[in-house]
Amino acid sequence: MRKIMFLLASLILGASVAQAKVVGEEVSYTADGVTMKGFLAYDRDIKGKRPGVLVVHEWWGNNEFTRKRALQLAGMGYTALAVDMYGDGKTADHPDDAGKFADEVSKNMPVGKARFLAAMKRLAKHRTVAPGQIAAIGYSFGGGVVLNMAREGVGVKGVASFYGNLAPVAEPAQKGKMKAKVAVFTGEDDPAIPKEQVEAFGKEMEAAGVDLRLVSYPGVKHSFTNPAADEIGKKFNLPLAYNAAADKDSWSQLSDFLEDMFGKRP
C-alpha cells in the first residue's frame, strides 16, 4: 500500500491546520466483484479513534478535487475516504463520458448502494475510526448519492450535499427510515437544481421528520466549491462557476454540522 505524507498548510488548503500531520493512502476494496479505488486520509498525530467521513465525487470521478476535500477533513480531525463510485478509479475529462459513468450508477440503485456500502465498510474497519460514527458528504453527482443513501437508511449519522440533485431516485424519504441528519448547500442560479426542486425537497424532508439544514446562495451557480469550475464551464459551455464566498461559508457550515453530530474535534 502506497503512503504519501502531507503537511497541510492553510495557504494550500484554506484551513487553519498548518501543524496537522496527515497521511494519505491509496486504498482498494471490492463491491460485487468490481475493484474500487479510493483515497483514505487521517491525521497520524491524533490519538485514539475518531469519526469517519465518506467523500463522494462529482460526475468527473474520484479526482484531485475530491481527494483534497478528504485531506481537509483529515486536517480537521476526521478520517476521510474519497470514494470511488465508478470502479477501477475511472475518471472523465469530457462531459459525455462523465454523464455516461454517472448514469450507470444513478440509474441502478442496487449497484450504487452496493458501492457506497463497500466504501462505508472499508472506512469503518480502519483502525482510527470509531464504531458507528460515520457521515458522508458529496458534490453534484455525489451529493445526490449521499442523499439517496440516507433515504435508503444505510446507517450514516448525517449527510451533506453540495449542489447535488435533490429529487429522490427511488422512494422519497420515509419517516423512521431516513434517520440521518441532512445539510444541503445549493445555488439559487443553478439551472440543474431549480427553485421548485429545492422547495419540493424541503417539503419531503419535513414530512419525513428529518433534521435539515438547507442553505441556498443567491447568485451562485453549479459547482461553486470547485476552483476549476470556471475553466471547465468555459471549455464545455456549461453553467458552472466557482464562488469563493459560498465555498468558504458552506465549508464552515459543514464544520459546524459535523461538530454538532460528533462533538468538537481536537
Helix, strand or coil for residue 142? helix
The pLDDT, as a whole number, for residue 266 is 75
Summarize the confidence of residues 8-25 as an average pLDDT.
56
Each residue of 223-250: pLDDT tens digit? Answer: 999 999 999 999 999 999 999 999 999 9
Instruction: Please spell the DSSP secondary structure of 49-107, one letter per residue.
Output: -EEEEEEE--TTBS-HHHHHHHHHHHHTT-EEEEE-SSSTT-B-SSHHHHHHHHHHHHT
pLDDT for residue 65 is more than 90: yes
Each residue of 46-57: pLDDT tens digit? Answer: 999 999 999 999
The pLDDT, as a whole number, for residue 165 is 97
Summarize the confidence of residues 177-201 as an average pLDDT.
97
Bridge partners of residue 55, in order along the sequence: 82, 137
pLDDT for residue 42 is more than 50: yes
Average pLDDT value for the chain: 92
The pLDDT, as a whole number, for residue 7 is 37
The pLDDT, as a whole number, for residue 20 is 61
Domains of the chain by start residue, with CATH: 27-262 (3.40.50.1820)
Each residue of 194-219: pLDDT tens digit? Answer: 999 999 999 999 999 999 999 999 99
Summarize the confidence of residues 186-190 as an average pLDDT.
98
For residue 117, the tally of other CB atoms under 10 A from its CB is 15
Please state, in angstroms and rounded to a whole number, the distance separating the CA atoms of residues 59 and 224: 14
- Distance between the two ends of the chain, CA-based, in angstroms? 28
Please state, in angstroms and rounded to a whole number, the distance separating the CA atoms of residues 97 and 45: 40
The pLDDT, as a whole number, for residue 75 is 95
Summarize the confidence of residues 18-32 as an average pLDDT.
86
Summarize the confidence of residues 144-170 as an average pLDDT.
97
The torsion defined by the Cα of 181, 266, 20 and 67, in degrees rounded to 10, comes to -10
The pLDDT, as a whole number, for residue 265 is 83
